[in-house]
Structure 1
């Protein structure tokens, strides 16, 4: 059973990267629309795109913080837990189901910057 999950995960990552080949952003956030996110979130008991997208979002936001730290240009923010990020993305996606998860993640990054900015050092 575990090997099926790993195989499904690997196939998803490969398919996602191929689907997003023309995009600047790759991975689950580049190819998953908010409507897909909401549909996948309502499905329980199986590996879904939402699970991958949730991890992608947290890594994407951490990457924004890393870049900001390296540039010393803009403040970082606290990256919330998966549960909090999922709730934030649910809210954004209900408002615009045609938006990509990446676009919603950018909105969330702006929101987190306003809420919990850690000053640049």
Structure 2
């Protein structure tokens, strides 16, 4: 029995692999995970570490990650507001996957870029 869809078939959204890119495959999710490895961080600190992320995109990413149980939002209930974000155990479980993806990228980046250059010039 094959689990791959045939041409024209729809992918079941309840399938764990179909949901994977939406849960942890976002551009910023892995970067947020890595940024939170050393402990809780405030929004502004995360934004500074991540560099080019906009406040809107980081807010959406953190909301999605909180909803999915990857991050905990810690509201210290102070005035002025003091909110921090921290990885959950589920979020920490992504670290080996992110490390594997980073290793793959390190090994193959030059090859990928060479293919891209040939594709755009040929």
Q: TM-score range by the shorter chain?
A: under 0.3
**Bigger strand fraction:** 2
Name which one, 1 or 2, has greater alpha-carbon Rg: 2
Taking structure 2 as the reference length, the TM-score comes to 0.24
**Structure that is richer in helix per residue:** 1
